Structure 1
């Protein structure tokens, strides 16, 4: 079994993720498409303290990214919305691999958080079939009781039809979903055959390792229900065929595609700082980020204010091949300023002056991306551990 140092493992992971971004030829839109395909999914998030996560993640890999690119990818039928480990944009070429979950929800083998109302679902579906794409607000539906968390029955019907595959998201208008019949959204050339269990498991393994370089069984099956045994079998078969091999890293054993090891011969930019989204593909699995990058991270917007260590929306910062800082950020739209409420430097950070010079450039670029004229840093500290 081959071995990698933790530094080599980090290099493989970062290069596979397209971080830091390298200069590329082509239009800004083409570069966004390439980054999207490299990642394999983009997690959608509604929090807008700074630019939303699905835009932020692509911008981190393509400095020329514009928020309208994602809408254009959907319009061009190169991307679609569905569930990965969470609500995501997925490559349209991978559409068939969304079918196992859809069919499981349709059959009742996998539960969804809304209960099915077949009569209402049929009525909603017929209205869209005859009248064209609609949003939830286009349906009148009253709640029997309002507590602040529930959604109206027609919204639940739309979501169930979407989750089981009858409807897709044709577009978003002011971030509101527009639902349409699947057959009117999906391109005619896309493979819609249901993958076998073996095909689906192979896809999960190979797509994860392509995007992340190295991975464990638990990481490959992160938040996916009922697939661990299938993926374990697929890994055994892929090991036997030589399409995957095991690699030992300082912190444990991982699976890797042999072709990914060639990335060790490429150069990793260590002078550029990258401000990352909390939902970035690189670190959405917090235990993996801790294991590989020794970066203990929690998004604290869901933590009571009195218990927060780093702030409401603290963004991890990549530099020199490591995660070396975090910044609690907020866009002040009225003042057109990106406010760094608190910058926390990791205790292990060396060459602080070089890092801060790189961060200055990144903060200005991030401010511009957030349609701000500039930025301020209100406080800087070093983490106590």
Structure 2
């Protein structure tokens, strides 16, 4: 995957757990965070907060510099603290070890809903710059420590900025196989468009034209061995799968629509009255086609997984076989969350 977006919302299970489970059904929620404490992963920002393999860390120095500078110059992160107060936060972490924001206190500058306390802004700004790092999470609460105590030492042959950018593009293409420069850039959201385009044109990638789901053609680039890779792909599994909205496979919504003809929007942050589908809607993937979407919610007090909305994709018939496959997947999903699926039938859902 390259990275794993993490999210605090536990609709059924948290996004990061659902994403990993969808690829390995033996995965359980307790398995992820020890990898961060074992320093096999580090947490930083791609398009959002993400866990990244530690092998990528030498390439990430430019992202620390870029995001650190952006946060330092952004009005949102102006904490009202002077440099001495900010250094005092760092010094306390240096002396006491990993601390969460709850260990500090400062008064918010306003009472607006989104107002954040100055110490939280200062800690986050240092986190973006790599001065601080996520040492661990407990109940999803982030604990900050000095970057030098979390990140591994940089190797003597660590790449410079240009080489790191090229390596990030290469890592993206190893996962995308075929992509436009815009899609390569969007994978990490860590590189400027002109740099990605120049890399693609100067690399050993093969220029190709790809047909979209709507029949239109688009210029793109492919890996040199793309034909061998495509020939080696096994037939898609017939099992129906519930896909998380934050899954990296569908994060690029324009690419998703171009390849699969599946038009998807995450409406979590859309006012309820303006939603077309629902708050937390999961795409349904069967084989290599998206066949529908469901809105589901874990009712922990009642111990059940409830489907509150169902929509078939245009032209997709939901007979007994497909409905049974969805019920089986709901049972598996419910077990992951420690819940029991409530009775559900696609024919009676909204």
* Structure 2 partner of 1:134: 99
* Structure 1 partner of 2:88: 123
Cα drift, residue 41 of structure 1: 0.4
Alignment gaps of 5+ in structure 1: 1-38
Matched, 1:254 2:220: yes
CA RMSD of aligned residues (A): 2.3
Deviation per residue, 1:208-247 (Å, 9 max, x gap)? 1212222111111128366111111111221xxx3x2123
* Structure 1 partner of 2:134: 169
Q: Structure 1 CA distance, aligned partners of 2:345 and 2:317?
A: 22
> In 2 relative to 1, CA 320–144 (structure 1 residues): closer, same or farther, beyond 3 Å?
closer
> In 2 relative to 1, CA 221–365 (structure 1 residues): closer, same or farther, beyond 3 Å?
same
Greater Cα shift, 140-149 or 157-166 = 140-149
CA contact (8 A) 1:216 1:254 kept: yes
1:258 aligns to what SS in structure 2?
Answer: coil
Matched, 1:312 2:295: no
Q: 1:212 pairs with 152, 156, 176, which one?
A: 176
Q: Structure 2 CA distance, aligned partners of 1:154 and 1:293?
A: 45
Cα drift, residue 166 of structure 1: 0.6
Q: Structure 2 CA distance, aligned partners of 1:319 and 1:62?
A: 17
> In 2 relative to 1, CA 150–378 (structure 1 residues): closer, same or farther, beyond 3 Å?
farther
* Structure 2 partner of 1:53: 15
Alignment size in residue pairs: 340
Q: Structure 2 CA distance, aligned partners of 1:382 and 1:367?
A: 18
CA contact (8 A) 1:344 1:380 kept: no
Q: Which has the higher contact order (CA 8 A, sep 6+)?
A: 1
CA contact (8 A) 2:71 2:77 kept: no
> In 2 relative to 1, CA 266–379 (structure 1 residues): closer, same or farther, beyond 3 Å?
closer
Greater Cα shift, 330-339 or 348-357 = 348-357
Q: Structure 1 CA distance, aligned partners of 2:156 and 2:62?
A: 11
* Structure 1 partner of 2:215: none
Q: Structure 1 CA distance, aligned partners of 2:30 and 2:131?
A: 27
Q: Structure 2 CA distance, aligned partners of 1:206 and 1:141?
A: 44
Q: Structure 1 CA distance, aligned partners of 2:175 and 2:242?
A: 19
Q: 1:269 pairs with 218, 236, 243, which one?
A: 236
Q: Structure 1 CA distance, aligned partners of 2:275 and 2:33?
A: 35
Cα drift, residue 309 of structure 1: 1.7
Alignment gaps of 5+ in structure 2: 213-217
Greater Cα shift, 261-270 or 299-308 = 261-270
Q: 1:245 pairs with 201, 206, 212, which one?
A: 206
* Structure 2 partner of 1:282: 249
CA contact (8 A) 1:345 1:381 kept: no
* Structure 2 partner of 1:73: 35
Deviation per residue, 1:306-351 (Å, 9 max, x gap)? 2222111110011021111100010111121111111111122257
Q: Structure 1 CA distance, aligned partners of 2:207 and 2:324?
A: 39
> In 2 relative to 1, CA 187–353 (structure 1 residues): closer, same or farther, beyond 3 Å?
same
2:343 aligns to what SS in structure 1?
Answer: strand
Matched, 1:376 2:343: yes
* Structure 1 partner of 2:164: 200
> In 2 relative to 1, CA 133–253 (structure 1 residues): closer, same or farther, beyond 3 Å?
same
2:225 aligns to what SS in structure 1?
Answer: helix
